[in-house]
């Protein structure tokens, strides 16, 4: 009586997560959570569905409290596919613990948000691959051209720690 868990909160304390995931996955999951690498597709008192953006991909995570009190979980990543409680599960569980979900909470659609994150990530990778092939002189011209069209960011670049550190080094 009353011993059956009613909410994921009853079965996903930080200690539970550490036990389920093991130390390594727990710590990686905590880093993803701290860096806010997740979005919820939906959550309520007994279930959550979310996405975690790892270094190169987004993985879909599901965690559910079953009627018998067991936890059912899945993640699309390699560890998740062999049924480990992976770092992405830890991240989503920690994010869930931050909020107060009850049985009436609605599921929201966050797929658009995650595809925006992916797009920005892909653009950055493509741009890096291109810029790495450009010689130094050409690179300077590209940045100057960009600075002419975006003076505000050009000023920011002049003032940036990164640039001033480099200039001190070369003097
Ligand atoms: Zn995973």
What does the block give as tokens for 28?
A: 């990686």
- Read off the pLDDT of each residue in 26-34 and give the average, rounded to a whole number: 96
Residue ranges of domains in the chain: 8-110, 112-170
Taking the centre of ligand 1 as the mean of its atom positions, its distance from the CA of residue 43, in whole angstroms, is: 18
Considering the entire predicted model, what is its pTM? 0.62
Q: How far is the CA of 31 from the centre of ligand 1 (A)?
A: 14
Confidence of residue 170 (pLDDT cuts 50, 70, 90): low
Residues 6+ apart with CB under 8 A from 86: 21, 25, 29, 75, 77, 79, 80
pLDDT, mean of residues 23-46: 91
Token code pair at residue 145: 């051209």
Give yes or no for a contact between 111 and 50, defined as CB atoms under 8 angstroms apart.
no
pLDDT digits (tens, 9 = 90+) for 53-72: 988 788 999 999 988 889 99
The answer to which of 19-28, 39-48, 111-120 has the lowest mean pLDDT is: 111-120
> pLDDT at position 109, please?
54
Could you give the C-alpha distances from 116 to 68, 74, 121, 143, in angstroms and in order? 38, 24, 9, 25
Rg, Å, the chain Cα set: 22
Tens of pLDDT, residue by residue over 134-146, are 899 998 998 899 8
The packing angle between helices 87-98 and 14-34, to 10°, is 90
Compute the distance from residue 50 Cα to the ligand 1 centre, in Å: 11
Cα 160 to middle of ligand 1, angstroms? 36
Sheet of strand 47-53: strand arrangement: 38-43, 47-53, 58-65, 71-75
Looking at the chain, the whole-number percentage of residues with pLDDT higher than 70 is: 87
CA of 34 to the centre of ligand 1 (A): 16
Residue 19: the pLDDT is 95
Q: Residue 77 C-alpha to ligand 1 middle, in angstroms? A: 4
Q: Residue 133 has what pLDDT? A: 87
Q: How far is the CA of 93 from the centre of ligand 1 (A)?
A: 12
């Amino acid at each position: 009586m009353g011993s059956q868990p009613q909410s994921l909160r009853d079965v996903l304390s930080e200690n539970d997560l550490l036990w389920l995931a093991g130390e390594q996955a727990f710590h990686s999951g905590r880093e993803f959570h701290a860096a806010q690498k997740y979005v919820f597709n939906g959550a309520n008192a007994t279930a959550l569905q979310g996405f975690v953006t790892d270094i190169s991909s987004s993985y879909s995570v599901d965690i559910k409290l079953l009627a018998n009190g067991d936890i059912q979980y899945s993640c699309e990543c390699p560890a998740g596919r062999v049924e480990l409680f992976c770092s992405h599960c830890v991240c989503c569980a920690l994010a869930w613990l931050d909020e107060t979900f009850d049985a009436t909470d609605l599921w929201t659609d966050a797929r658009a948000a995650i595809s925006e994150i992916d797009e920005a990530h892909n653009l950055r990778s493509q741009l890096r691959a291109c810029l790495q092939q450009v010689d130094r002189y050409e690179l300077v011209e590209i940045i100057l051209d960009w600075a002419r069209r975006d003076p505000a960011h050009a000023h920011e670049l002049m003032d940036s720690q990164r640039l001033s550190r480099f200039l001190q080094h070369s003097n």
